[in-house]
Chains A and B, each alone.
Chain A
Amino acid sequence: MHESVWAYVRRNPNLLIGLVLLSVLLLFSIVGPLFVDVTNAEPLSVSPEKPPSLAYPFGTDSQGRDLLAVMVAGTPLTLRIGFLAGLLGLAVGTALGFVSAYYGGVADNVIRGIIDVSLTIPGLLVLIVVAVFLKQGLTVDQMALIVALLAWRWPARTIRAQVLSMRERTWVQVARLSGRSGLKIIFLELMPNLLPFLAAALVGAVASAILASIGLEALGLGPADSPTLGMTIYWVIYYAALLHGYWWWWLPPIAIITILFVGLFNLASGLDEIANPRLRKSV
């Protein structure tokens, strides 16, 4: 058993790398609050603009936040935005994909048109228009909802393509001939076979959502009172931390964002490998 797991991981190292990197971040956000006082992530709680020291290993920012506390409090917030938006996007996208591909006809034409048009719109700009009007007093969950507005597009497209290819397979036809209802076929026959695709689509949706949320936040269109990673980047730009040489202010959020995206990217390729064994690379 151990042998085979090890053998699989050796063939699909991306999966392992992705899982390890993301677990490190999760662990950081779960264990962190036990050692760090997260109330110091609020402005004016410590003396400002101090380089890293024993008391504050990541230093402090211009508004008097302890940056280690900011990272410990902010990483789970950013993950939360990504995960909520990704889940919502996947749910809506999967529903659209199923209806479109399984029932076909007019519904398919309309839904496919919507997907195609929405995919050519640069997402960040649409989200900017939406967020501009909700600017004041956004919460983290509202941020997730905004980002989720466009998170359904790629899941809808990939799930539709998968269902289309699966719909006419013999085992689905047998189920249909034996009198199973459409919903039962969708949930009992098609869904289980789509699980790896759904997982890969979820990871992709989460990554896009996080990317979009950080972009919006860096423009100042985020939850100004929450210490998310993107808001930290916004404050870095706002206070010109770079030109003051406060390297400890921008290095941690950029490092965490990099780990996060590299982890998600590896996880997505690892899941892709499970979902599409035929894609297996020869290199």
Chain B
Amino acid sequence: MTRALDSRPPRFRIVSAGGTDSKVRIDFVLKRVFMLLVLVWVAATLNFIGPRLTGKDPVRTRLLKQAVVGGYVQQGMEEMAKEYERKFGLDRPLWAQYTTYLGDMSRLNFGPSITNYPRTVNEIMADALPWTMVLLGTTTVLAFVLGTLLGAILAWPRSPRFLQYLLPPLLTLSAVPYYLLGLVLLYVLAFRLPLFPSFGGYTPGTLPALNMGFVLDAASHAALPALSIVLAALGFWALGMRAMMVTVQGEDSMIFAEAKGLKNRTLFLRYAVRNALLPQATALALALGEILSGAVLVEVVFGYPGIGSVLYNAIKDFDYYLIQGIVFTIVVSIGLATLLIDLAYPLLDPRIRYGKA
């Protein structure tokens, strides 16, 4: 929804088509890589400052809580507190704590999880990430393809008129946050009509394995979360594509192609869709971040065993290392995705060269 509201200005300067200036390209790549490093550093530093600024120490808070509850100290908690003390103890100066911390981060070592002590943050994330990646990967591509196609057909003057009535419902769907749509779907398709399972990523009791039965079971569990993401994202892609198609259809090349008497199909696919597709590809990279954070809540609603549910539980239990690890991983992966799309862009559109901004 907000994505549709932001009138994102083009991120590239289009300079006149000419020979590729390789020097400029390398400058650009270096600058982009530098930006990514800055982003990673900012994210890491924010994670470091957080606990220290508020004086709320995650490990000590946990120890205190357990002492209050009644003497019970979680197994290994003492060890962990000692290890923590050694690394981030108050006796060490702040800069020394900071460099230790940055060292851990650069090795992607996020430390132990506070609530599941012997398990490390990395192990927990490794369990949850495949679920999220499969769900999000599939739904993002599906929504992109379906929405773009729908938008193209909506803008095509020779498509059936009744399709125009699809626009208001699409707009409304894209205005509702993913997870709220998920709540409604859950009620209608899992509670009222028990067509789909209402909770989890697979039937409890079965062991995750790569066989047909399990995959089918997992797919039926993923159906509703996937449907809510696809439905909510569809409108965004359709609206973006529709606007671009309208612009492209006004161009001279289009009129010329039409005057040549080309077939309707060729006009539609080769001339209109092909040219309107490019900004959609950029939007795909930008949308990734929003989809990831939107999907956190979809997973919570459906109790899906992905990274979003892990984050939700970590917030509930104040498992700061886990929160920190997840946030850091997502920020870095989105930064990488945007970098890759930015670098691939000139390959998609020969008109675009990176100039010095």
Question: Footprint of B on A, CB under 8 Å?
Answer: 113, 116-117, 120-126, 128-130, 132-135, 154, 157-158, 161, 200, 203-204, 207-208, 211, 214-215, 218-221, 233, 236-237, 242-243, 245, 247, 250, 254, 257-258, 261-262, 264-265, 268, 272, 281-283
Option from A134, A254, A283 in Cβ contact (under 8 Å) with B54: A134
A282 to B192, CA, bound (A): 43
Cross-chain contact B297 with A218 (CB below 8 angstroms): yes
Q: At the interface with chain A, which of B41-49, B136-144, B213-221, B348-356? A: B41-49
List of B residues within 8 angstroms of A282 by Cβ: 246, 250
Cross-chain contact A204 with B5 (CB below 8 angstroms): yes
List of A residues within 8 angstroms of B263 by Cβ: none
Cross-chain contact B46 with A126 (CB below 8 angstroms): yes
List of B residues within 8 angstroms of A247 by Cβ: 187
Report the minimal beta-carbon distance from B11 to chain A, rounded to whole angstroms.
Answer: 9
Q: At the interface with chain A, which of B19-27, B96-104, B268-276, B285-293? A: B285-293
Query: Does B93 make an interface contact (CB < 8 A)?
Result: no
Query: Does B132 make an interface contact (CB < 8 A)?
Result: no
Cross-chain contact A265 with B4 (CB below 8 angstroms): yes
Which 3 A-B residue pairs are closest in the complex by CB-CB distance?
Answer: A124-B293, A261-B175, A133-B54
Report the minimal beta-carbon distance from B219 to chain A, rounded to whole angstroms.
Answer: 22
Instruction: List the count of A-B residue pairs having beta carbons below 8 Å apart.
Output: 148
Known: A121-B331, A211-B1, A243-B198. 17 other contacts (CB 8 A): A121-B42, A122-B330, A124-B294, A124-B296, A125-B293, A128-B311, A128-B315, A129-B47, A208-B2, A211-B177, A219-B297, A236-B183, A242-B191, A245-B191, A250-B183, A258-B175, A282-B246
Query: Does B284 make an interface contact (CB < 8 A)?
Result: no
Report the minimal beta-carbon distance from B229 to chain A, rounded to whole angstroms.
Answer: 15
List of B residues within 8 angstroms of A132 by Cβ: 50, 315, 318, 320, 323
List of A residues within 8 angstroms of B315 by Cβ: 128, 132, 219-221
Option from B47, B176, B334 in Cβ contact (under 8 Å) with A257: B176
Question: Footprint of A on B, CB under 8 Å?
Answer: 1-2, 4-7, 9, 35, 38-39, 42-43, 46-47, 50-51, 53-54, 56, 155, 171-172, 175-177, 179-180, 183-184, 186-187, 191, 198-199, 242-243, 246, 250, 289-290, 292-294, 296-297, 300-301, 311-312, 315-316, 318, 320, 323-324, 326-327, 330-331, 334-335, 338
Option from A113, A129, A207, A257 in Cβ contact (under 8 Å) with B327: A129
Q: List 12 A-B contacts (CB under 8 A).
A: A113-B38, A128-B315, A129-B324, A133-B54, A158-B9, A204-B2, A211-B1, A218-B297, A254-B183, A258-B180, A265-B4, A265-B5
A128 to B326, CA, bound (A): 11
Report the minimal beta-carbon distance from A142 to chain B, rounded to whole angstroms.
Answer: 13
List of B residues within 8 angstroms of A125 by Cβ: 293, 326-327, 330-331
A168 to B155, CA, bound (A): 37
A21 to B38, CA, bound (A): 42
Cross-chain contact A233 with B50 (CB below 8 angstroms): no
Cross-chain contact B297 with A120 (CB below 8 angstroms): no
List of A residues within 8 angstroms of B199 by Cβ: 243
List of B residues within 8 angstroms of A128 by Cβ: 311, 315, 323, 327
A257 to B175, CA, bound (A): 9
A13 to B125, CA, bound (A): 48
List of A residues within 8 angstroms of B186 by Cβ: 242
List of A residues within 8 angstroms of B318 by Cβ: 132, 135
Report the minimal beta-carbon distance from B103 to chain A, rounded to whole angstroms.
Answer: 20
Q: Which residue of B lies closest to A266 (CB)?
A: B171
Report the minimal beta-carbon distance from B92 to chain A, rounded to whole angstroms.
Answer: 22
Cross-chain contact A220 with B316 (CB below 8 angstroms): yes
Cross-chain contact B2 with A211 (CB below 8 angstroms): yes
A282 to B6, CA, bound (A): 21
Given contacts A122-B292, A242-B191, A261-B176, are A283 and B50 in contact (CB under 8 A)?
no
List of A residues within 8 angstroms of B176 by Cβ: 254, 257-258, 261
A125 to B296, CA, bound (A): 10
Q: Which residue of B lies closest to A263 (CB)?
A: B175
Report the minimal beta-carbon distance from A204 to chain B, rounded to whole angstroms.
Answer: 4
Cross-chain contact A120 with B301 (CB below 8 angstroms): no
A122 to B287, CA, bound (A): 10
A247 to B184, CA, bound (A): 9
Cross-chain contact B323 with A254 (CB below 8 angstroms): no
Cross-chain contact A219 with B312 (CB below 8 angstroms): yes
Cross-chain contact B187 with A250 (CB below 8 angstroms): yes
List of B residues within 8 angstroms of A272 by Cβ: 7
Q: Which residue of B lies closest to A264 (CB)?
A: B5
A134 to B155, CA, bound (A): 47
Cross-chain contact A120 with B179 (CB below 8 angstroms): no
Cross-chain contact B300 with A219 (CB below 8 angstroms): yes
Given contacts A122-B293, A218-B297, A236-B183, are A161 and B9 in contact (CB under 8 A)?
yes
Cross-chain contact B171 with A215 (CB below 8 angstroms): no
Cross-chain contact B335 with A207 (CB below 8 angstroms): no
List of A residues within 8 angstroms of B53 by Cβ: 133
Q: Which residue of B lies closest to A123 (CB)?
A: B293
List of A residues within 8 angstroms of B338 by Cβ: 120
